[in-house]
Amino acid sequence: MAKENIKRIKIQEQKPDLKIVKPVKTKPYSDIDLNNWKEYSHIKTDTWWEFAQRDNTHGHSNEYHGNYIPQLAQQLYERFTKKNDIILDLFLGSGTSAIEALNMKRRCIGVELKQEQVDTVKNKFSEKELVTDVNIICEDSASDRVKEKIQARLDVMREEKAQFLVLHPPYDDIIKFSDKKEDLSNCPSTEKFYELFKKVAQNGYDMLEKGRFAALIIGDKYANGEIVPLGADCAAKMREIGFKMKAVIVKNMEGNERAKGKTANLWRYRALNGGFYIFKHEYIYVFQKV
């Protein structure tokens, strides 16, 4: 028996009413106290995530096509980040990553291609927050320039690298987000989409601290009568870069559908007519930079 355990038993025998407080045990990338692991029943540890609806409180909303639900950030941040860590999101969109970073006492650097979207997201934060906790960059995430701009923001925030990476790209050409040729939703082919995505993922890898984690949030699509496995193919690109895959999580899509209404019946007809099944899920791939 270890000396520490013998000493603890002797103290309890002498003072039976004295509560022994266990030392905090955490991983380098998380604030979760493993000595009190039973207190984290809200943290999901399986690979099926189901949410009845998206969280539209604490600054979140559903006004933007393609934004992922905040519950994903809540789960991932608590599992793989510590307070004051920097989350790097290379497809910031409506700012879900940044909003939840502040809610959970983390910080965020977000990159967004459209200036008008950058301006919209900035209005969700105070001037002070935009200096100390949230930095939003208008740039092409697949470019070489973006790393210099991210590094400049990291320097201001007194960090060498980011501690968590979020990648929630367009699902190829399913939804057009802009008219810009650099926009991944405007790629002339799925092969070009994969090429640009890999460049974005490489930039994220380069700006991520060693040993820390990344999440790819993505779904598949149908085209020309067959499934195009965007999720698996993009995950493969990340492995080619050097990421180690840690998990493949399946999440129900009900939480982030908007105004589906009567179109559900139309899709049911199309499924029966075309010999396919209607997507009710998307993926969260978890990686680690080793």
Helix (H) or strand (E) holding 235: helix 230-241
For the segment 194-207, the average pLDDT, to the nearest whole number, is 98
- pLDDT tens, position by position, 103-135: 999 999 999 999 999 999 999 999 999 989 999
Could you state, in order of their start, the residue ranges of all structural domains in the chain?
1-41, 49-289
Residue 20 banded pLDDT, cuts 50, 70, 90: low
Distances (CA, A) of 135 to 128, 213, 240, 275: 11, 20, 29, 46
Comparing 7 with 166, the larger pLDDT belongs to 166
The CATH number given to 49-289 is 3.40.50.150
- pLDDT tens, position by position, 167-187: 999 999 988 888 888 899 999
281 burial level (CB within 10 Å; 0-12, 13-18, 19+): middle
Residue 63 banded pLDDT, cuts 50, 70, 90: low
pLDDT of the residue at 175? 85
- pLDDT tens, position by position, 251-274: 998 655 554 455 667 888 888 998
Q: Measuring CA to CA, which residue among 175, 220, 205 is closest to residue 90? A: 205
Average confidence score pLDDT of the chain: 89
pLDDT of the residue at 267? 81
Tell me the helix, strand and coil percentages in the chain, rounded to 5: 35, 20, 40
